[in-house]
Structure 1
């Protein structure tokens, strides 16, 4: 599964549109950034440190290698942490939360562009079908399913439903210029 995900990442990076420049300059992940810069990015609605929006495909794989190395080091060198039920639960809930939030960047992009151009209807239909199956299992199964799974599943189903609503509202019309949400022209997380 991990190998397939790495192959998909490579294919996606090879076929993505250019990330462009940041403040007129191409950027390298985490280079020259301070914690204050990261906080400013977060408060202005940008990803701190340009996270996961890097220009060089090598940066993505380096990050994943560092993450895997860090987790391996914790597992091997700190067994009192790696065998802790709290640590195991934390990793599980972190992964669950990340998966639940996967549709959010697409929602934001559709909102900013006032278009779903390039986003296929078949993807939304499959996501909604998957959500329906997931929800039926979570709530109709005779087996106990912990509430964090149910809550994250409900959140993701709501996001996917909203993507369907966006597709209905915006269609695949031409993507225009970002439209600010307020008359002041200030940009934030969604504007």
Structure 2
């Protein structure tokens, strides 16, 4: 009788842990962007945050959603991708609004339909970012529909999804390196990135997710650690390099 109760208790605990882990996967990826969002709103300065991070996540999660149609992985990962895309559009909307407000001189409007590669993902209106991702989503949807029976194509789609996400911190890494400063970047965001990516990679391993997921998760953790090293190395540089250059320092 005791072993029956013990088995039921173990099953209940396992179920609870599973639900908690799934919930953490769904909302855990969004949480790191809360301090960055609040910092941009408070300072009304979006220069320290790279919008290419948003591009990487939008592309990665759109590809992951397409990958799900070819190979059904766990629903929490699918829901996470949808929520993350919504979050990235919220971040973009804030950054575009702040940057337009901070323009000293009214420059020519740069929009997606100009098809000027020089200003790609650096447009003046929020609608352009939506239009760009809409075109990308339609194109990938058509490809997945045509090649959904080709296992190589489906697996390649999954790899591109997680590899792009693994590289999401790279634009921020490069931006910090060029300016020799992490001013304007939320350190809390990067710490949460690191903790979340470690948890996510372990989740992939334990839940036996497709191999692309946990390999690229490991790469993502490595990039996070490099950004944290930049925080330490550039800790004395509290002013972006471009501002020092304007003063002739």
Deviations 1:65-121 (A, max 9, x none): 21222234445xxx4423432332222222111111110111111111111101122
Kindly state the Cα deviation for residue 127 of structure 1 after the two structures are TM-superposed. Answer: 1.2
Relative contact order (alpha carbons < 8 A, sep ≥ 6): 1 or 2 greater? 2
Greater fraction helix: 2
Which residue pairs with 1:128 in the alignment? Answer: 194
Distance 1:147 1:61 in 2: 31
Distance 1:50 1:69 in 2: 22
Distance 1:91 1:55 in 2: 31
Does the Cα contact within 8 Å between 2:201 and 2:213 map onto a contact in 1? no
Which residue pairs with 1:89 in the alignment? Answer: 155
Distance 1:71 1:19 in 2: 36
Distance 1:18 1:151 in 2: 41
Does the Cα contact within 8 Å between 1:27 and 1:55 map onto a contact in 2? yes
The structure number with the bigger radius of gyration is 2
Does the Cα contact within 8 Å between 1:30 and 1:49 map onto a contact in 2? no
- Counterpart among 54, 66, 83 of residue 123 in structure 2: 54
Matched, 1:169 2:233: yes
Kindly state the Cα deviation for residue 19 of structure 1 after the two structures are TM-superposed. Answer: 10
Aligned residue for 2:239, secondary structure, equals coil
Please list every run of 5 or more consecutive structure 1 residues that lacks an aligned counterpart in the other structure: 34-47, 180-191
Give the root-mean-square deviation of aligned CA atoms. 3.2
Which residue pairs with 1:15 in the alignment? Answer: 98
- Counterpart among 77, 84, 109 of residue 175 in structure 2: 109
Distance 1:64 1:160 in 2: 26
The 1:178–1:82 alpha-carbon spacing in structure 2 relative to 1, beyond 3 Å, is farther
Deviations 1:134-176 (A, max 9, x none): 343345x2x4344432321121111100111000111261112
Number of aligned residue pairs: 157
Distance 2:208 2:142 in 1: 33
TM-score (norm 1): 0.66
Does the Cα contact within 8 Å between 1:131 and 1:153 map onto a contact in 2? yes
Please list every run of 5 or more consecutive structure 2 residues that lacks an aligned counterpart in the other structure: 1-82, 245-249
Which residue pairs with 1:149 in the alignment? Answer: 213
Kindly state the Cα deviation for residue 3 of structure 1 after the two structures are TM-superposed. Answer: 4.2
Which residue pairs with 2:25 in the alignment? Answer: none
Distance 1:19 1:102 in 2: 26
Deviations 1:43-76 (A, max 9, x none): xxxxx5432122232221111121222234445x
TM-score (norm 2): 0.52
Does the Cα contact within 8 Å between 2:109 and 2:123 map onto a contact in 1? no
Structure 1: 4+ residue segments shifted above 6 A:
17-20
